[in-house]
Structure 1
Amino acid sequence: MASSSSASSSSSSPCPASIDYDAIPAIALNYGVRKRLGQYLNPTNTVASDWTDLAERMDFTYLEIRNYERRENPTQTLLEEWQTRPEATVGKLLTFLEEAERKDIITDLKRHIDENCRKYLQKPVQVPVVDSGHQDRGITVLDSHMPEMFDAFICYCKSDIQFVHELIRQLEQTDHNLKLCVFDRDVLPGTCVWSITSELIENRCKRMVVVISDDYLDSDDCDFQTKFALSLCPGARSKRLIPVVYKPMKRPFPSILRFLTVCDYTRPCTQSWFWIRLAKALSLP
Structure 2
Amino acid sequence: MAAPCEERIDFDRVPVTALNVSVRKELALHLNPRNAVAADWQTVAEMMGFSYLEIQNYERQDNPMKKILEDWQARCPGATVGNLLSLLRKAERHDVLLDLDTPIKEDCRRYMKQRQEAPLQVPVVDSCQPRTEERRGITVGDDPLGNTPELFDAFICYSQSDVEFVHEMIKQLEQSERPLKLCVFDRDVLPGTSVCTIAGELIEKRCRRMVVVVSDEYLESDDCDFQTKFALSLCPGARTKRLIPVLYKPMKKPFPSILRFLTICDYTKPFAQSWFWKRLATALAQP
Task: Classify the TM-score, shorter chain.
Answer: 0.5 to 0.7
Paired AA for residue 229 in structure 1: A
Residue 137 in structure 1 maps to residue 136 in structure 2: yes
Structure 1 residue 240: Cα displacement: 1.4
Structure 1 residue 174: Cα displacement: 1.2
CA distance in 1, matches of 2:179, 2:162: 22
CA distance in 1, matches of 2:175, 2:126: 32
Matches for 1:154-233 after TM superposition, within 5 Å: 154-232=156-234
Paired AA for residue 186 in structure 2: D
The structure-2 alpha-carbon separation of the partners of 1:227 and 1:136, relative to structure 1 and needing over 3 Å to count, comes to closer
Identity of aligned residues (%): 70
Which of 258, 275, 278 in structure 2 is aligned with 1:276?
A: 278
Aligned residues: 159
- Structure 1 equivalent of residue 245 of structure 2: 243
List per-residue Cα deviations over 1:14-49 (Å, max 9, x = no partner): xxxxxxxxxxxxxxxxxxxxxxxxxxxxxxxxxxxx
Structure 1 residue 129: Cα displacement: 2.2
CA distance in 1, matches of 2:141, 2:270: 36
Paired AA for residue 182 in structure 1: V
CA distance in 1, matches of 2:168, 2:234: 27
Contact 1:130/1:196, CA 8 A, preserved across alignment: no
Structure 1 residue 127: Cα displacement: 5.7
CA distance in 1, matches of 2:128, 2:250: 39
Paired AA for residue 161 in structure 1: V
Contact 1:130/1:199, CA 8 A, preserved across alignment: no
Contact 1:131/1:199, CA 8 A, preserved across alignment: no
Moved over 6 A (4+): none
CA distance in 2, matches of 1:222, 1:149: 21
Structure 1 residue 237: Cα displacement: 5.7
Contact 1:233/1:240, CA 8 A, preserved across alignment: no
- Structure 2 equivalent of residue 262 of structure 1: 264
Paired AA for residue 159 in structure 1: S
The alignment yields a C-alpha RMSD, in angstroms, of 2.1
List per-residue Cα deviations over 1:186-244 (Å, max 9, x = no partner): 0000001111000000000001000000000000000000000000278x963510000
Contact 1:246/1:264, CA 8 A, preserved across alignment: yes
CA distance in 2, matches of 1:266, 1:223: 22
The structure-2 alpha-carbon separation of the partners of 1:136 and 1:229, relative to structure 1 and needing over 3 Å to count, comes to closer
Paired AA for residue 153 in structure 1: F
Contact 1:130/1:195, CA 8 A, preserved across alignment: no
CA distance in 1, matches of 2:130, 2:265: 31
Paired AA for residue 140 in structure 1: T
CA distance in 1, matches of 2:202, 2:224: 14
CA distance in 2, matches of 1:191, 1:162: 24
Structure 1 residue 135: Cα displacement: 8.0
- Tell me, which stretches of 5 or more residues in structure 2 are unaligned? 1-124
State TM-score, norm by structure 2.
Answer: 0.52
Which of 150, 153, 162 in structure 1 is aligned with 2:152?
A: 150
CA distance in 2, matches of 1:239, 1:154: 13
Matches for 1:109-128 after TM superposition, within 5 Å: none
- Tell me, which stretches of 5 or more residues in structure 1 are unaligned? 1-125
